[in-house]
Amino acid sequence: MQPYVDDSLPNTKLESIVAETINFNFPLVKINESIYSLELFHGPTLAFKDVGARFMSRCLGYFNRNNNQKVTVLVATSGDTGGAVANGFLGVEGVDVIILYPSGKVSPVQELQLTTLGQNITALEIQGNFDDCQAIVKQAFMDGDINAKLSLTSANSINVARWLPQQLYYFYAYQQWQQNEAPVVCVPSGNFGNICAGMMAFASGLPVKHFIAACNANDVVTNYLQTEQYAPKQAIATVSNAMDVGNPSNFIRIQQIFNNEFSSLKNKLSSISVSDDTTKKTITKVYKDYNYTLDPHGAVAYYALEQYHQQGYILETAHPVKFPDVVEEAIGKKIEVPNEVKHLFEKEKQSILLSSNYNDFKEWLMNK
């Protein structure tokens, strides 16, 4: 990480931030002879976003250490981002976090992760969908009254501090990779921050035979690699909802790693778009054949890697318990709740219910 940080952080500080960021396991688990799973869900909120959120929160806390004014992090979430950000920032001094999530549209584990932390974390339960939450956040960033009163910042993956540390687990995977040939790496992709981190790791020397960007019905990059036409679309809702992105903001960074040369990018990166129906069938099949439970995002990646017919691994980006409706129907039984989140069910949800009207949000924030 040091070359990316240069002297903006002292080395000892960087070391302690990295140590705190990755103090959980990243096991590479064998599913069958050709496909392994890099499990990124052993962090506090059971999603790979823990890595980026923990790194970013600690950096922000450090950079803000001498400021008198508090920083307010505003995030809209469809589930995973909010939980990871909230958990990463819990107790970080000088930072308040406000999370907007769509009422009734996140799973029980996700909602508890958002609403039971307390301290500097406030959860706003918006009576609307994810787009309503995001629209409120976007408008707040442009609102003169709010910006005169508060110092706002965002925590999405446009911010390089979110995805730079994600390079580290690709190196951990290689440490565990026991084959002679370098692996094909298949990444379930939405905003393309995760796969961008993998390609940065490759650019700095990590052996990777080929990358596959596994997408759901949101197929902008899949189409681009076939046609060389980049045509953003409205996002389509799918069962792998953390990847419902119609215009992935990190793809341009990947193009720059390859000097904007289409043919060299295409040599290293393939992309497949996988339907919801295939995603669910893949969860069923992998459970039956190999007794391994995929979450919907991992299932998209599994199917994509299987089509490629070479040895490699998928990134399993979230624990299946975060998507119980889809997974339990596909495997025909209840998912066991992992010990890491059992305690959540003893806590009480604390959220503030607001309409999706911007003025209600503004009034609440200005009087906070």
**Catalytic residues, which ones?**
49
The residue (of 190 and 312) whose beta carbon lies closer to ligand PLP is: 190
Q: How far is the CB of 181 from ligand PLP (least distance, A)?
A: 26
CB of 206 to ligand PLP, least distance (A): 18
Q: Which is nearer to ligand PLP, 340 or 360 (CB)?
A: 340
Q: Does 96 bind ligand PLP (CB under 6 A)?
A: no
The distance of closest approach from Cβ of residue 29 to ligand PLP in the complex, given in angstroms and rounded to an integer, is 17
243, 274, 299, 314: which one binds ligand PLP (CB under 6 A): 243
CB of 187 to ligand PLP, least distance (A): 7
Q: Are 210 and 268 in contact (CB under 8 A)?
A: yes
21 versus 64: smaller Cβ distance to ligand PLP:
21
Q: Give the one residue of 87, 189, 273, 293 binding ligand PLP; rule: CB under 6 A.
A: 189
Tell me the closest approach of the beta carbon of residue 66 to ligand PLP, in angstroms: 32
- 120 vs 317, which CB is nearer to ligand PLP? 317
Shortest Å distance, C-beta 45 to ligand PLP: 10
Q: Reduce the DSSP state of residue 3 to 3 states and report it.
A: helix
Q: CA 252 to CA 171: how far, in whole Å?
A: 23
C-alpha 65/C-alpha 174 separation (Å) is: 36
Three-point CA angle 174, 179, 183, nearest 5°: 55
Task: Report the C-alpha gap between 242 and 245 in whole angstroms.
Answer: 8
Does the footprint of ligand PLP cover residue 215 (CB under 6 A)?
Answer: no
- Show the DSSP H helices in 207-275 as ranges: 220-227, 251-257, 262-268
Instruction: For residues 306 and 311, give the distance between their C-alpha atoms in angstroms, rounded to a whole number.
Output: 9
Tokens encoding 139: 């408008």
Binding of residue 64 to ligand PLP (CB under 6 A): no
Pick from 157, 216, 238, 282: which binds ligand PLP (CB under 6 A)? 157
194 belongs to the binding site for ligand PLP (CB under 6 A)? yes
- Under rule CB under 6 A, residue 318 binds ligand PLP: yes
198 binds ligand PLP (CB under 6 A): no
Q: Is 297 in the site for ligand PLP (CB under 6 A)?
A: yes
The residue (of 183 and 188) whose beta carbon lies closer to ligand PLP is: 188
Question: Does 193 participate in binding ligand PLP (rule CB under 6 A)?
Answer: yes
In order of 127, 201, 256, 319, the CA distances from 186 in angstroms are 36, 14, 20, 17
- Please report, as a single letter, which amino acid is at residue 201: A
DSSP per-residue letters across 183-224: PEEEEE-SSSHHHHHHHHHHHTT---SEEEEEESS--HHHHH
Compare residues 59 and 187 and give the one whose CB is closer to ligand PLP: 187
Segment contacting ligand PLP (CB under 6 A): 59-67, 93-101, 188-196, 350-358? Answer: 188-196
Tell me how far apart the terminal alpha carbons of the chain are, to the nearest angstrom. Answer: 38
CB of 46 to ligand PLP, least distance (A): 9
In this complex, which beta carbon is closest to ligand PLP, that of residue 13 or of residue 280? Answer: 280
Residue 348: name the closest of 114, 120, 121 by CA: 114
What is the four-CA torsion angle of 171, 177, 182, 187, rounded to 10 degrees?
-60
Among 121, 242, 265, 283, binds ligand PLP (CB under 6 A): 242
- Considering only 19-27, 182-190, 221-229, 282-290, which stretch makes contact with ligand PLP by CB under 6 A? 182-190
Query: Distance between CA 249 and CA 192 in Å, rounded?
Result: 7
**Cα dihedral value 238, 239, 242, 243, nearest 10:** -50
Catalog residues that contact ligand PLP under the rule CB under 6 A. Answer: 47, 49, 80, 157, 188-194, 242-243, 297, 317-318
